[in-house]
A and B are shown apart, each in its own frame.
Chain A
Amino acid sequence: MRRRVALAGAGLVAALALVTFPIWSSEWESSRYATTVLRDMLVLGILALSLDLLVGTTGLPSLGHAAFFGAGAYAAAIAAQRLANDNLLIGLLVAMVVAASLALVIGIFAVRAAGIFFLMLTLAFAQMVFALAFQAVDLTGGSNGFAGVQRPRLFGLDFSAPDALFELVAVTFVLVVLLLWRVRTSTYGRALVGIRENERRMRALGYDTTRLKLSAFVLAGAVAGIGGALSGWSLRFVSTNDVGIGRSVEAFVSVLIGGSGTLLGPAIGATVVLFIERVLSSSIPFAETVLGVLFIVFVTAARQGIVGLLATAYSRVRR
């Protein structure tokens, strides 16, 4: 019990530190660049966390999750422009609804398959979404991308300034973590884990596993859509890269390196992946090789990811 309180306290402190990062970091970091990098890590983190609901919790390996991320990004951006409304809640709502709807349509078909077939179906559907985003030039800007995305406002709060936007992203990130934590610890979440462990047994026990898988798929899609909306607002731009296979693989690699099936693993993984891809790449020309090697090492030797390694180290120390 005390451990739980301690953990909750630590979580609260960490969340507060994260959200107030721009304030206490301005001492040693006069430029806002570190804030920008951290912001992008949090956005990818949200995508990775949403993906892990499928990969880690339910055991559904999706290689097409960026489709919902990008759909949310486009939806929020297009809606703000077409409706001439930059209300934060409207933007988030539109992003979630569009992403969830897309996830519903794709999920109805995808969850009928399992394992490798599920992987390939999600890949195929994501490529379709990519193709559509590329072709629908009048709606999405096509290959040129969607520029001039308005940053949102909420009852007088304007999120245009970099620090304000960071706060928005950080708070949303914390809320997403809390949401997913609640999901995972609920009976619903345990049912999902049950499906991961042994779907046939769950069915025998009377669970409608197809409906459960579909709901997880839609929920994961909705959360990814939120991440997408944040991405569009952060960059003020949405491109076809946001629905592409590269983004999906990035998220998947983040989940695995960080630790699939854990609360914060995917977000930690996202931090590592972006560090290698964006920061390390400025210093060395073989950053992708480093990422690939790291990924291989984790898959073969540390399947539980960084969180798994930390957990093992912690339990060893305690003994």
Chain B
Amino acid sequence: MNARQSLQPLLRYGILIGVGFVMIYPLLWMIGGAFKPNSEIFSSIGFIPQSPTFDGLEKGWKTSTEYTFATYFANTFAIIIPKVIVTVISSVIVAFGFARFSVPGRRFLFGVLIATVLLPKSVLLIPQYLMFREFGWLDTFLPLYVPSAFATEGFFVFMIVQFMRSFPPDMEEAAMMDGCNSLQVLFYVVVPVILPAVISVALFQFMWSINDFLGPLIYLSSVENYPISLALKMSIDVTEATQWNQVLAMSTLALLPSLIVFFVAQRYFVEGISLGSVKG
């Protein structure tokens, strides 16, 4: 009995460490490759560079196009920051409508909301493209964040609604008796209280959007508008021999914002997921 008991933790740790290592290795390898000279990349499997250099980073940053990665980073943020802001605002407003008002057909509409989360987006792709073309929005960032201003990502609305519902309405009633109209209640009382959920929404949207590839791919045609995702793809499209150390260097940089945000705000990710799924 005792042997089995002390074996168990050992077994668990063994599996966890083994699998964990294999999982993380490609990333470690990528970071290492960013600092290796091109020749070394294909010769060693260790991820620590034998002759570290900033060559990959320097040349990769400048890229072989007329723009540096500074432009591409700027573009990425020019898309994501408005997107996150409008997502948060519209999701909170719509969630408030669902959670606290008895609107006719509310249950049906909420069901529709959930259905849109499950809807495969590829079926909407072509008409949306044509619609934005008619608007004259091609090669701008608008198609990438305007829809979010209309709470089109139902998952976020759902998350906030669940969180709102977990609070009894007493505070809001007290605020009403203090003379607040519904918007004041929302702003002064509800939002401060549901802040953790709001932050989770912002973080998730940040992470999802920064990885968006198909959107920019079909809407952006000028290289000067390319975000990082397209610029990276471009760097491996070159017909002559790919400078892998540059590519890896830029890949590392591309993942850096996500990594930083993730490590700083880990708690919100895990809580956010359980909010949306297990309790949903």
- Physical interaction between A and B: no
B-to-A contact residues, CB < 8 Å:
none
Residues of A in contact with B (beta carbons under 8 Å apart): none
